[in-house]
Amino acid sequence: MIIKPIKTRIFKENDNLIDFIVAHLKKIPECSVLVITSKIVALAEGRVVEDDGSYTKEELIKAESDLAIPTKYVWLTIKDGMVMASAGIDESNADGKYILLPKDSFKTAKILHKELKARYKVKNLGILITDSRTMPLRAGVTGVGVGYAGFCAIKDYRGKRDIYGRKFKFSRVDVVDSLAAAAVFTMGEGSECRPLALIEKAEIEYCERISPKELLISIEDDMYGPLFSKMTKRR
């Protein structure tokens, strides 16, 4: 697998995302995944709130979350079926504003998938919109997928045999977040100005239709469910 981060100009609020991508990518090879940070998707959608006192960050977090609870450092929240800090609201590289997550990253990925396939004349293309997340009991952040299109999210080993012939009962690989973690590492978290990356030669399965729910697990069925027992619905 080869990952190529793309250096770009600074993306401004309400810029056209398609035009921005085309300006910085002359070509996209067949069977590639285009990785796009959620921040520029949100900026393209105008998902920005001025930090002028009209709203507190706490109010925004509660409005953007499905579930939320305050912790020592941040609000621990669930949004769009994922655990994240502060509902994904970001103040870094935001020029004194709050940048929210995209309204519907799956819808945007689907639109980009269709338009960029036609623009670059490729048959197989993946689109992956990413964000950064902390993990319980781990320092630092890693990349995660918040929306995708054009490739299968799960690599299923169930029923197949390991190197000793034993059948797998539970093993599945989260393709989306695996690709996101690798790409986000190369894109950077600071002033690198690399909001795009191109993944080539990844061993993934391309497809035309995906289900936004294929990676989701309910709290009741999740092995980490007990950790959420103290979380409360937003007020």
Inter-residue contact 16 to 44 (CB < 8 Å): yes
Domain enclosing residue 154, as ranges: 2-233
Q: What is the CATH number of the domain that holds 164?
A: 3.30.1330.100
List own/partner pairs for 222-230 with CB under 8 A and 24 or more apart. Answer: 224/136, 227/136, 228/67, 228/78, 228/83, 230/69
Output the pTM of the full model: 0.91
233 DSSP 8-state letter: E
pLDDT of residue 52: 83
The whole-number pLDDT of residue 228 equals 65
Tokens 């294929």: give the residue.
Answer: 214
Instruction: Read off the pLDDT of residues 98-125 as tens digits, 9 standing for 90 and up.
Output: 999 999 999 999 999 999 999 999 999 9
Give the tokens for residue 154: 């799960």
Cross-strand pairs, 132: 143
Instruction: Say what the pLDDT of residue 235 is.
Output: 39
141 pairs with which residues across the strands?
134
Backbone angles phi, psi at 62, to 5 degrees: -65, -40
Q: What average pLDDT values come out for the chain (235 residues) when binned by 10 residues?
A: 97 96 97 98 95 87 91 89 91 87 97 98 98 90 97 86 78 93 96 96 96 87 74 46
Residue 234: its pLDDT value, please? 45
Say how far apart CA 80 and CA 42 lie, in whole Å: 15
Domain count, the chain: 1
Residues pairing with 131 in the sheet: 144
User: Nearest CA to 12 among 47, 34, 40?
Assistant: 40
- Write the pLDDT tens digit of every residue in 193-233: 999 999 999 999 999 999 998 998 887 888 877 776 655 44
